[in-house]
Amino acid sequence: MQIFLGESIAGQSAIGRGMDMNTQITIAGVDFKNPVMTASGTFGSGMEYADFVDLNKLGAVVTKGVASVPWPGNPVPRVAEVYGGMLNAIGLQNPGIDVFLQRDIPFLKQFDTKIIVNVCGKTVEDYVEVVERLGEEPAVSMLEINVSCPNVKEGAIAFGQKTEALYGITREVKRHAKQPVIMKLSPNVADIGEMARAAEAAGADALSMINTITGMKIDIHRRKFALANKTGGLSGPAIKPVAVRMIYQAAQAVKIPIIGMGGIADGEDAVEFLLAGASAVSVGAMNFVDPYTTEKVIRGIEEYLETYHIEDVRELIGAVR
């Protein structure tokens, strides 16, 4: 792809034959230079991928889930490969909010990208504590509340699988949050539209989906579970059609914006999510496969816009009904 003009201002790339295109999107009043983010837990706090990717190019870095205190996570093996994807049961290992604020936020602040912090907890109080601490940090643009991790025994997932519980925690988090709140929904539910509506009714500013789908792998030679946790979350290209379907259904059910993820590997995948109704996308497991995936997705979206002479990426959002 050729850059026609020597400079490009935020969100505006002038490519090809001098076509002006807008890749900037806005979610809950926060502007992103492009709709490409990193999926929580697959990009650390950006540090590990800074060798590969220019973080300044990303719409946002979404960090690994952080709790009020350090969590040691699950026993190993924590990851397993499956056809077209992987299972993980990390168990939300994280260094706790203190270290996160001292180390990870200052690192990310060096870059011209938005910071979205993913929050996990076992009780409502846990979530609120982290949300309040993050409220003191203006560099954090948005909060993503993970109520959908399938890999921790207590709490968490329960909030994401019952409408009343989801409504309750969303309300509580919104009451304490200084930044706009994204509720990250679980795909392990019967009716995603109903869950999306519950979060919206409770005041969520945006939704993100999908988290991983609960799965299992058995090693037939050793006659053992592949993961110490027995079950794990399925992610990667194998789950993409499920993600597209759920984003479409949620987008039909609510008015708030949706950040879509689930197996995105290139620009074409990202466009599919936007057409289904997502306002932005996140790259998850594919970072492990190709550490340059995020930049590749950004370029791919621009190429698509250019090919079809679309001037504004926002025209794609929910364009297929």
Which residue numbers are catalytic?
Answer: 149
Using CB under 6 A as the binding rule, the residues of this chain from 257 to 286 that contact ligand FMN are: 261-264, 284-286
Q: Does 211 bind ligand FMN (CB under 6 A)?
A: yes
Amino acid letter, residue 92? L
- Positive/negative CA dihedral, 251, 253, 185, 32: positive
| Binding site partner of 264, from ligand FMN, other proteins, none, Cβ cut-off 5-8 A by kind | ligand FMN
Residue 113 in contact with ligand FMN, rule: CB under 6 A = no
24 lies in the binding site for ligand FMN (CB under 6 A): no
- Per CB under 6 A, does 35 bind ligand FMN? no
Q: Which is nearer to ligand FMN, 182 or 198 (CB)?
A: 182
- Closest contact distance (angstroms) between CB of 186 and ligand FMN is 10
Interatomic CA distance for residues 124 and 119, integer angstroms:
11
Q: What's the min distance (Å) between Cβ of 66 and other proteins?
A: 11
Separation between Cα atoms, residue 151 and residue 112, nearest integer Å: 33
68 binds ligand FMN (CB under 6 A): no
Report the residue number, 126 or 290, with the smaller CB distance to other proteins: 290
| Site map 184..203 versus ligand FMN, x via CB under 6 A | x-------------------
Residue 16 site contact among ligand FMN, other proteins, none (CB < 5 to 8 Å, cut-off depends on kind):
none
Site for ligand FMN contains 114 (CB under 6 A): no
Q: Which is nearer to other proteins, 289 or 320 (CB)?
A: 289
CB 141, min distance to ligand FMN, A: 17
φ and ψ of 288, to 5 deg? -70, -30
What does the H/E/C string look like for the chain?
CCECCCCCCCCEEEECCCEEEECCEEECCEEECCCEEECCCCCCCCHHHCCCCCHHHCCEEECCCECCCCECCCCCCCEEEECCEEEECCCCCECCHHHHHHHHHHHHHCCCCEEEEEECCCCHHHHHHHHHHHHCCCCEEEEEEECCCCCCCCCCHHHHHCHHHHHHHHHHHHHHCCCCEEEECCCCCCCHHHHHHHHHHCCCCEEEECCCEEEECEECCCCEECCCCCEEEEECHHHHHHHHHHHHHHHHHCCCCEEEECCCCCHHHHHHHHHHCCCEEEECCHHHHCCCHHHHHHHHHHHHHHHCCCCEHHHHCCCCC
Applying CB under 8 A, which residues contact other proteins? Answer: 41-44, 48-49, 51-52, 64, 70-73, 76-81, 83-86, 88, 90, 93, 95-96, 99, 221, 236-237, 285-292
The answer to whether 296 contacts ligand FMN (rule: CB under 6 A) is no
Q: Quick one: which of 27, 37, 80, 92 contacts ligand FMN (CB under 6 A)? A: 92
Report the partner that residue 28 touches, choosing among other proteins, ligand FMN, none (CB closer than 5 to 8 A by kind): none
Q: Could you say which of 146, 161, 186, 279 contacts ligand FMN (CB under 6 A)?
A: 146
Q: Which residues bind ligand FMN (CB under 6 A)?
A: 39-42, 64-65, 88, 90, 92, 118, 146, 149, 184, 211-212, 235-236, 239, 261-264, 284-286
